[in-house]
Every structure is written in structure tokens, then in C-alpha cells.
Amino acid sequence: MSIRTTEQRFPRIALIGRHGGPAAAAPVAALTAFLLARGHAIVLEPNAVTTELAGVTSLPDEMLPGAIDLAIVLGGDGTMLSVARRLAPYDVPLIGVNLGRLGFLTDIPVAKMEPTIAAMLDGRYSEERRTLLSVTLSRADGNTTSAPALNEVVVNRGGLGSMIECTVEIDGRFVYTMRADGVIVATPTGSTAYALSTGGPIIAPEVPAFALVPIAPHALTHRPIAIPDRAMIAITVSRGRDAAVHCDGQAHFDLADGDRVTAERAPHTARLLHPEYHDYFAMLREKLHWSETPERLTHPDAH
């Protein structure tokens, strides 16, 4: 992570709301007026209600790269994941305003949106790069499908309830065959998401590693493993009725016996900008309620 202390101007800014939902309408309108007053050109989604303002243009997603210098995402972490996957190949920096719940990636409270973003646009921000996964599904019939993931790729059982059987390899070397509800390959960003709830480790963003995390394995000796992010992980389904693979919980593909999912570090990274006071471990303390007593969790105003 680096701290920028000199002024850096972002002349063209895209404001991207939570799928254009009503929760984002008022903050988007307020931020649009604020940024226009500062002299920025604003790009909004085609269905945004404020596109009739002078200095505001409307562009579909596919035209954003090359037309903007910065994207401000207003929504939850799911919205940020979607936007980051689309814009990471174009090195567009992202700022997140939290309209969701946890806000691991969208870390600016909407109540402090304008002064915080003003300071960041004046150059007072920290920047970090987040690793993405490049995921490829190779089917038994020879067809392939690819998708990126910022959080994780998950191979798991479907709604029929039976475990899947799969084989895991790392860089072509056999690791194990496992019966389980599934297996997760998580980036450091995704280590605080689904992987954490299944017992995986938290990996700080600057650590070059992935977490390989079994989901409810039949053998209790199967444990999470941290592996270098230069490795290629391959998961082959040997038996998996109604099995599927998910990328960030947003891209979904059904799996059949013999299908193979590979995950490796993508050639590009997501570029996230944070307020200059941003501290990863302070964020973990806040979001995960470390050092909180049950009384304070129940009564947050208690002293």
C-alpha cells in the first residue's frame, strides 16, 4: 500500500450505484452535484435520474474504460466485486462508499462521503492492489469457459444434498481426493468472506497467497492450506450430482463428472483507493467486532 501526499486530479469520474437501486439514488445525486461543483466531469449509468445535469454524461458499462480516470462505487461489497472485475483489466482506480452491511471493500460511510472524497481527490489517500483469480472451466467434452474472481472460486454441491467427490492438484502435483460439500480457493480479499465462515485463515492483502479451504469435509483431517499465489490450483469433479462452480457468488456454471476447474493469479489487479487514515487491522476490528463483549454487541451505546 502506498500513501499519496501530492495532489492528483481525476478529471473524469464515473459514479456507479447498486444496480441503479433506490438506496443509491440520493447519494449518487448528492455526490454528482458535489463533484460537478469541484469541476469534475461525471459519467453515470444510462438509467440514472441525474443524467440531465450539465457536465454529466451517460455511458454503458462497456464504454467506461478509456472514458474515465476514476470510479466511485456506491453500494455494498457485492457491487464493488462486480465493478472491480470489469475495470481491473483497464487499471481504473476505485473508491467505495458503503451502502451495504459489512463494507470490507466499500469502506467510506455515506455520512462522511463528501469530505472524505474531497480529501482523496486532493491527493490524500492510500492505494493498494488486490489480486484476482483467473478461473477456467474445462469440460469433459473439450469445451472451456473462463471468468475472473476477486473474492473466491467455489466448487460445491447443489441442492440435492449429496457430497461431491473431487481431486485437488497444485501445479500438476496431486494433493488429495476429498468427499465434502465443496472446496474454496480464496484470494486475500476473499479470505474474510465465505472462506472465513468455513474456517479458513484471514490473509492480509499484501501477502502473496491463496487459501485452499474445504467445505464440511467428510474426513476431519482435511484442513485449510495457504499456498503461494503463483501456483495453479486444479479441482476435478469425479462424482458430483448437481455440482456447480461459482466465482464471487455472481458467475455460476453447472458441473458434470469429469469437469475440471483451474484457478491461477490473473495478469491484472484491482486498484483500490482508501482514505489516508485507512488501517486494515482497524477495519477488521470494527467489522468482526474483535474485543467486543456480548453486552456491547447487544447494546452498542453501553459504556
pLDDT at residue 45 in the model: 79
Domain boundaries, the chain: 2-124+276-298, 132-267
pLDDT tens for each residue of 42-72? 999 776 655 566 778 888 888 888 899 999 9
Max Cα–Cα distance, the chain, nearest Å: 63
pLDDT digits (tens, 9 = 90+) for 112-131: 999 999 999 999 999 999 99
Q: Is 77 an active-site residue?
A: yes
Q: Which residue has the higher pLDDT, 47 or 202?
A: 202
Average pLDDT over all residues of the chain: 89
- Set of cell numbers at residue 147: 471468468
- On the question of pLDDT at 153 being above 80, the answer is yes
Amino acid, single-letter form, for residue 15: L
What is the grid cell recorded at 68? Answer: 474515465
Q: For domain 132-267, is the CATH number 2.60.200.30?
A: yes
- Give me the catalytic one of 69, 77, 107, 279: 77
CATH 3.40.50.10330 is the classification of domain 2-124+276-298 = yes
Report the predicted TM-score, pTM, of the whole model to 2 decimal places: 0.89
Q: Please name which of 73, 70, 91 lies closest in space to residue 83, comparing C-alpha atoms.
A: 73
